[in-house]
Chain A
Amino acid sequence: MRQPPEAVAVRPARRGDLDRVIAIDAAVTGLPKRSYWLSVYRRYSGAGRVGRYFLVADSVGEVRGFIIGDVRDWEFGSPPCGWVFAIDVEPRFRVAGIGTRLLAAICANFRRAGVFKVRTILAHDNTLILSFFRSQGMMAAPFIPLEMDIEV
């Protein structure tokens, strides 16, 4: 559903937004994770959370999407940078510029915190979200994510 992005305001998440956030996440991942989202909210919202951002896109009082990220200092020897670790837009309201507004808003917060690089990590088979971040100008970072199974 296309809707002018001006009708959407991006603001810090409030406790009362959590039900919508959980529902949007559950619609995307198929898993409602209430206790996970409560703990994310506690860590990323409210006063005194320096360098942590949990923002929602609000359209006429309804949450349509959210983005979460933080400033990470000297991780793996890299100078402080902004990390986006979650972004979701309610499927009915996609491709209307909400994702772009959310990313721009968190980048504005990172800029105010004095960091000028933003990073994220994505599943390589999630073409949708890869296309989105690419469209915003993101390029491959000079890192390679690695993993292994820990033997039992």
Chain B
Amino acid sequence: MKLQKNTSLALYSVLEFAADPTRHFPATEIAAKYGVSAHHLAKVLAALARAGILESVRGVGGGYRLVCNLRRLTLIDVIQIFEDPGLPDGERGDSGESTPVGRALGVVLSEIDQMTKATLASITLATMLRLMARQRKAGQDRASRRRPRRASARNA
């Protein structure tokens, strides 16, 4: 599944906020990290604020903060603000859809859509944070396993 650019940006942003919910991030910080213009990101953040996921913070520094429940907001909740992750059965909208080939293809494609939706609807922001922590730890473990080998190679 390939997400549209704004959807990916929204997920990156929401997870940046979720990783540190007490912090107010100025949009420029996230824009710089993900290589997009602050103007582009501002539109995405405004959409998230309209959906009740972020709240803009006035005053020094300004920016946004997360106001949703990390343990209940799922990836699909964020994605659906920007795009439809899979159409209902038989609504692909192409002209071959009602032919026998189109119908058979529709059955297979809707299997994939169902799995995609089930996955995205069951992963909360809190679950994503735990996944990120596990990946960080796996990266550190890999790095620490490599380090002694290099040291012993130097010693040899």
Contacts and interface: CB of A to CB of B under 8 A. Distances in A.
Interface in B72-120: 74, 114-115, 117-119
Which of B114, B115, B127, B130 gathers most chain A CB within 10 Å?
Answer: B127
B123 A125 contact: no
B57 interface: no
Interface string B105-145: 00000000011011101111011001100100000000000
What secondary structure prevails in chain A residues at the interface with B? helix
Contact of A130 (B114, B122, B130, B134): B122
A127 B121 contact: yes
Contacts of A140: 119
A98 B127 CA distance: 18
Contacts of B74: 131
What secondary structure prevails in chain B residues at the interface with A? helix
Nearest to A130: B122
A3 to B, nearest CB: 18
A137 to B, nearest CB: 7
A124 interface: yes
Contacts of B127: 131, 134-135
Interface residues of B, number: 15
A130 B124 contact: no
A135 B130 contact: yes
A131 B127 CA distance: 9
B118 A130 contact: yes
Contacts of B124: 131, 134-135
Contacts of A124: 114-115, 117-118
A135 B126 contact: yes
Contacts of A130: 118, 121-122
Nearest to B114: A124
A124 B120 CA distance: 11
A131 B122 contact: yes
A127 B118 contact: yes
A137 B131 CA distance: 7
A42 to B, nearest CB: 34
B120 to A, nearest CB: 10
A130 B123 CA distance: 8
Contacts of B118: 124-125, 127, 130
Nearest to A132: B122
A68 to B, nearest CB: 22
B123 A134 contact: yes
Interface string A123-144: 0110100110011010010000
Interface of A: 124-125, 127, 130-131, 134-135, 137, 140
19 contacts: A124-B114, A124-B115, A124-B117, A124-B118, A127-B121, A130-B118, A130-B121, A130-B122, A131-B74, A131-B122, A131-B123, A131-B127, A134-B122, A134-B123, A134-B124, A134-B127, A135-B124, A135-B127, A135-B130
